[in-house]
Amino acid sequence: MDDKATVVELNHESRLQSEDHQSIRLWLRLLTCTNMIEQRLRARLRQEFATTLPRFDFMAQLDRSPDGLTMGELSQRMMVSGGNVSGIANQLSGEGLIDRTQVPDNRRTLCVTLTDKGRKRFADMAAAHERWVVEMLGDLSPADHRQIMMHLTQLKRGVTALET
């Protein structure tokens, strides 16, 4: 439907109108970058470790917290719904990668930890994952990194500040 005299990348930003607000441009650029990286990571995790991004994320959060996390904490940190976390936990538990134990002083709460097997499994994936991310973002100089981080901090602060 489009004449292409020049090669054009097609992605979220293709929907931009000339009169669109600068903020819309920034948002679509952000979305495009994130989606591009996410898709690559997803594909590689599937190809090389037969796992998914949310499962990896789940284990990464636990690896970071050796004392364990509750289901609610996992839900917050992974930024997904509670039901979602329940489902992933069932899988990982079934594969012996995590333990769920009752917390003595609150019978509503579960404490989730990586098993030894889970910790080992994650270590392999984490090393590869880091290589992939560095490969994708490593072009940027340390100074650029700092600058983008600063800007995204500001952006994040602005969004967080809004109520609801």
Q: In the complex, which residues of this chain contact DNA (CB under 7 A)?
A: 42-43, 46, 52-55, 70-73, 75, 79-91, 100, 105-110
Interface with a copy of itself in residues 47-106 (CB under 8 A): 57, 60-61, 63-65, 67-70, 73, 76-79
Taking the least distance from each CB to DNA, the nearer of 105 and 116 is: 105
Cα–Cα distances (Å) from 46 to 35, 42, 61, 94, in that order, read 16, 6, 19, 19
| DSSP calls for 113-127 | EE-HHHHHHHHHHHH
1 near a copy of itself (CB under 8 A): yes
**C-beta of 110: minimal distance to a copy of itself in Å?**
11
Residue 64 C-alpha from the chain's centroid? 14
Cα–Cα distances (Å) from 150 to 27, 49, 63, 88, 143, in that order, read 17, 33, 26, 33, 11
Taking the least distance from each CB to DNA, the nearer of 100 and 119 is: 100
128 near a copy of itself (CB under 8 A): no
Q: Out of a copy of itself, DNA, none, which partner does residue 110 contact, by CB within 5 to 8 A per kind? A: DNA
- AA letter at 142: P
Taking the least distance from each CB to DNA, the nearer of 82 and 138 is: 82
First to last CA, the chain: 41
